[in-house]
Amino acid sequence: MAGLLASLLLLVLQTLAAPPEFVPVSNPGLTDPLWANGTAAVVGPSLAPPPGTSQRMPHSIIIGVRKGGTRALLEMLDIHPSVAAAATEVHFFDWDENYARGFDWYRGLMPYSYPYQITVEKTPGYFTSPLAPERIRAMNASIKLLLILRDPAERVVSDYTQVYFNRLEARKPVRPIEDLLVRGGALNTRYKAIQRSLYHLHMRNWLRHFPLEQIHLVDGDTLVRDPLPELRRVERFLELPPRIAASNFYFNQTKGFYCIRSDGRERCLHESKGRPHPPVNGTVLRQLRAYFRPHNRSFYKMVGRSFHWQ
């Protein structure tokens, strides 16, 4: 058993590239806690909301980080019967044109939920947005924030990989990652993907508006390898009774990722999200890791916790 687990772990580590997006395998459409029995998976505007439900402002927001595993976290949390998850990334607090539409517009994008449920939305862009913290605070100063992080250097490569495939699909020219990471022989620290991985700079801005106790950190590297312990911590943080169980996860050998089994339905990681990273020049990768070393130390100090980033 231990040997099997170890080889599964290895498999995950080997195939782990970008953090996963979940898609339903046995049921197309969105996952919605209101139709937990799986009879109607998609809530369209033409469908009358179930009696006793309404759209509520979020009680918790997954604020980031981009490519940190935010979709995986939201989908796994959505297993919980007391969680109602927003289906799409809302970009309310980080995009001025959306913010200008006001709170009623925002609430209109939230899922219908029962009074015993908490509403959760996720928009990874919030973490690096200069204005998102104060805007969220103005909405609800006691809101619970979730931040999922992974190794900052891995995140850079994953960020690049996503843009790379998006450009390929749009038939736009692509550049090797080294061209973006290196300028004139030195690390190009102005590269956006590197800037987004400077967690302590962004975190400082959040801590100006929220106490640390209100921001729960999820270890994204751990979540994909062993989801349950991380989810237990999230349940406790959200003051939810423990309802997510080991039986809600099964390992898909083909994918090398965990998939979700919930309410008789199975959901897996989206193909586009488990893509292998392109090979990165070892010298450049070492430069990148060395660059992050003092930065992640500042971050560990700031949040009073360390991660196994290497």
Ligand X SMILES: *[C@@H]1O[C@H](CO)[C@@H](O)[C@H](O)[C@H]1NC(C)=O
Per the CB < 8 A criterion, the answer to whether 78 and 31 are in contact is yes
Does 263 engage in binding with ligand X (CB under 6 A)? no
Q: Which residues lie across from 261 on neighbouring strands?
A: 266
Does 293 engage in binding with ligand X (CB under 6 A)? yes
Among the listed ranges 65-73, 120-128, 215-223, 248-256, the one in contact with ligand X (CB under 6 A) is 248-256
Among the listed ranges 89-97, 126-134, 193-201, 286-294, the one in contact with ligand X (CB under 6 A) is 286-294
Q: Which residues lie across from 262 on neighbouring strands?
A: 265
Tokens of 144: 């619970």
Among residues 5, 150, 126, 13, the alpha carbon closest in space to that of 62 is found at 126
Interatomic CA distance for residues 207 and 212, integer angstroms: 6
Does 255 engage in binding with ligand X (CB under 6 A)? yes
Residue 163: is the preceding peptide bond cis (ω within 30°)? no
Per the CB < 8 A criterion, the answer to whether 131 and 202 are in contact is no
Per the CB < 8 A criterion, the answer to whether 42 and 30 are in contact is yes
Q: Which is nearer to ligand X, 34 or 131 (CB)?
A: 34
Name the residue whose CB lies closest to ligand X.
Answer: 59
Interface residue with ligand X, options 80, 122, 144, 150 (CB under 6 A): 144
- Minimum CB separation from ligand X for residue 260, in Å? 9
Binding-site entries for 3'-phosphoadenylyl sulfate: 67-71, 150, 158, 258, 273-277
- Contact residues: ligand X, CB under 6 A: 25, 35, 37, 39, 50, 57, 59-60, 140, 142-144, 151-153, 182, 252, 254-255, 259, 266, 268, 281, 283-284, 289, 292-293, 296-297, 306, 309-310
